[in-house]
Structure 1
């Protein structure tokens, strides 16, 4: 929108408080603050929601892979052939055999339900990576009789590195009096923290050979974890492998295994965006009301400008620029406030918890141990554009009202 010199001068004067116009300036300032808060709320909430999805996806897929191959009976005796076939499939980056079984763990009179996962020594190191908080992964190797525990599980059991934890398996030796459960003791060699509460509270990692011995699987495994080059195309990539497996095994990808969780996040994300957009809409109505008040207060000035040769289009441009400037300044301030809040988000949560004495971020409820954040540039552009467009639309009626002012009627009694 190109303004002439006098139009820029008048628009600048109308943006600043004039004599006896402090109330109008106050309303305009409230409009700016409202736009700022609305934009900041959208940026913060959408970034946190994106962070939730990204963190959950990275941690869940990092633990379970993009897909798993498993049989109806729970055992894959020919797993080596399946691994070789998967590695030959284009788009598959890794195929890891593993054993996974829910059991019970006891230590010092305490008992907890656990999920035992057996992996190769190299796969255990890859899975835990930099998430080790105590002990050493070099202790957790085949035949060592040592295991790795999740941090929350170790806390619940009261176990430390070096503690003897017993694993209880109902699959034991068959006797004339029935099946005798197996109770095997292992030394805790390492404690890790993945960052997902449910996993840190349940997982026990051990070498694949030790898990096979514990569960009496022989040379069989329970499943094969698959990684692909693109998680979003996991279905088409693994379709050839599924055809080759036939009815011997089935493939379940991350979407089917966690469909309800990610679908709930997607629905909540859309709902939050819609609800918080109403805040910006309310702020835009404040801009509309402040401009209407400004037009009413400047009726005499508008009439004089019209008699001096100002065009209707010029007057419309002046008031449209005033309202759009308020919206633009509020949008920029909102973006800045949102980014600052996101940068210090965990400190803000800790401060509120300290002041209120309430635990606002319970990992047992919210899955993750810290408040996540991931800013999507496309969403930021959409939020800013939406605020600017709404602000521009709010200026149309007041600008038209100012342009349609009849100077004869206004100045008749002056």
Structure 2
């Protein structure tokens, strides 16, 4: 079978046993270093994807994807919801009223964000119902001023279901002070735990009770909360809906409240990826050292090939093939091991925890008490492509040096 001369000789140099075992050792370490770099990048980025997906599911499953409101409280939110649901990307639309205040219990105080919800409709837009650890969402009844607290808030106050808290809400008045605190007793009817910061900053009450506290008319709500298919299209969808509803309507979405958190997570993933890419770069530099020593070891062979008619381009291509083969083998091995490790990292960590008897991610400290992994094909492709490009670039200088070898000079002392 016909094979080009550079490909034939380059692959033969790669698999042949050299007289200089040190060169073979350096070549092997280059492959291992490249494989370890690719493996580390795939596993680390998969774990970071897993954490980002887990936090997205928990946080964005609790906060509104988007909300539509007007300058005045909505008198007929059902009509707005019917118009909103006509959009193909909207899954659900439910009423929402929001207020901020301070919770106090036996001298302890804590700022809190309170959402007024309809317990019957809330499961359409929120995961709260699946994360109740005490009580039920349906225990929120109008007129009873029940409250569902996050697990962190309940722990800080030391309260349980049945205990009573005091909510302090600021109210603007015409007095000299301008703002007068207004108090409302709340009865704890449930506790939720989603494993995120919201466990300590969010509470839920019935939307009718929220309207009473906000001094709204019966049936009025502040906004309509919507859930969309694609979270990352929420800003465009909500803006388009607000425009279609007419003047006076405005839209808010999750990027206003949680956007900085997810931007920071994405930036962290990018920076760690660049740092791990240095491992691959170091392995690529080892390929340079390997090929330089191979060129020095094969000076006689190069001179003979040149006298037999091989062109400088063919000599250069020969050593580029050899270095590229090293890069391909290291990249493929690292990719296979990395994919296997990323798919089984949770089980591996669990095995280490059982073997050592220590929990790596304690649920008392971390929101996510296990190591999630989300392997993405695009990440694997980008990592392998970067490794192959660096490996190829590492072959250029040694191959160029080999092409410049003069036959007469190389054979002078042979």
TM-score range (shorter-chain normalised) is 0.7 to 0.9
Distance across 2 between alignment mates of 1:204 and 1:319: 67
* Structure 2 equivalent of residue 165 of structure 1: 164
* Structure 2 equivalent of residue 319 of structure 1: 319
What SS is found at the alignment partner of 2:22?
Answer: helix
* Structure 2 equivalent of residue 101 of structure 1: 99
Change (3 A) 1:45 1:314: same
What SS is found at the alignment partner of 2:324?
Answer: helix
1:69 aligns with 2:56: no
How far residue 120 of structure 1 moved from its aligned partner, in angstroms, is: 1.1
Q: Which structure 1 residue ranges, 5 or more long, are not aligned?
A: none
How far residue 293 of structure 1 moved from its aligned partner, in angstroms, is: 0.6
* Structure 2 equivalent of residue 300 of structure 1: 300
Aligned residues: 404
Is the Cα contact below 8 Å between 2:100 and 2:169 reproduced in 1? no
1:334 aligns with 2:334: yes
Is the Cα contact below 8 Å between 1:349 and 1:360 reproduced in 2? no
Change (3 A) 1:187 1:275: closer
Is the Cα contact below 8 Å between 1:7 and 1:314 reproduced in 2? no
Distance across 2 between alignment mates of 1:361 and 1:293: 50
* Structure 1 equivalent of residue 25 of structure 2: 26
Distance across 1 between alignment mates of 2:183 and 2:227: 33
How far residue 166 of structure 1 moved from its aligned partner, in angstroms, is: 1.0
Change (3 A) 1:323 1:257: same
* Structure 1 equivalent of residue 35 of structure 2: 36
* Structure 2 equivalent of residue 205 of structure 1: 204
What SS is found at the alignment partner of 1:339?
Answer: helix
* Structure 1 equivalent of residue 153 of structure 2: 153
Is the Cα contact below 8 Å between 2:235 and 2:255 reproduced in 1? no
Change (3 A) 1:249 1:167: farther
What SS is found at the alignment partner of 1:413?
Answer: coil
Matches within 5 A, 1:221-240: 221-239=221-239
Change (3 A) 1:84 1:380: same
Q: Which structure 2 residue ranges, 5 or more long, are not aligned?
A: none
* Structure 1 equivalent of residue 110 of structure 2: 112
Is the Cα contact below 8 Å between 1:41 and 1:276 reproduced in 2? yes
How far residue 358 of structure 1 moved from its aligned partner, in angstroms, is: 12
Q: Deviations over 1:215-266 (max 9, x none)?
A: 4434222322122344444455445532354453311133344443444444
Distance across 2 between alignment mates of 1:370 and 1:167: 36
What SS is found at the alignment partner of 1:222?
Answer: strand
Change (3 A) 1:206 1:346: farther
* Structure 2 equivalent of residue 121 of structure 1: 119
What SS is found at the alignment partner of 1:65?
Answer: coil
How far residue 144 of structure 1 moved from its aligned partner, in angstroms, is: 6.1
Matches within 5 A, 1:6-405: 8=8, 11-12=11-12, 14-15=14-15, 17-19=17-19, 21-71=20-70, 75-89=73-87, 91-107=89-105, 110-126=108-124, 127=126, 128-142=128-142, 146-160=146-160, 162-170=161-169, 181-189=182-190, 191-196=191-196, 198-219=197-218, 220-239=220-239, 241-304=241-304, 315-342=315-342, 343-344=344-345, 348=349, 372-405=372-405
Greater alpha carbon shift after TM alignment, 276-285 vs 112-121: 276-285
Distance across 2 between alignment mates of 1:52 and 1:193: 17
Is the Cα contact below 8 Å between 1:16 and 1:25 reproduced in 2? no
Q: Deviations over 1:125-147 (max 9, x none)?
A: 44214323344444344466643
Change (3 A) 1:379 1:399: same
Is the Cα contact below 8 Å between 2:6 and 2:314 reproduced in 1? no
How far residue 326 of structure 1 moved from its aligned partner, in angstroms, is: 1.6
Change (3 A) 1:15 1:143: farther
Is the Cα contact below 8 Å between 1:43 and 1:380 reproduced in 2? yes
Distance across 1 between alignment mates of 2:110 and 2:321: 66
How far residue 111 of structure 1 moved from its aligned partner, in angstroms, is: 3.5
Is the Cα contact below 8 Å between 1:107 and 1:164 reproduced in 2? no
Q: Deviations over 1:288-311 (max 9, x none)?
A: 111111111222344455566766
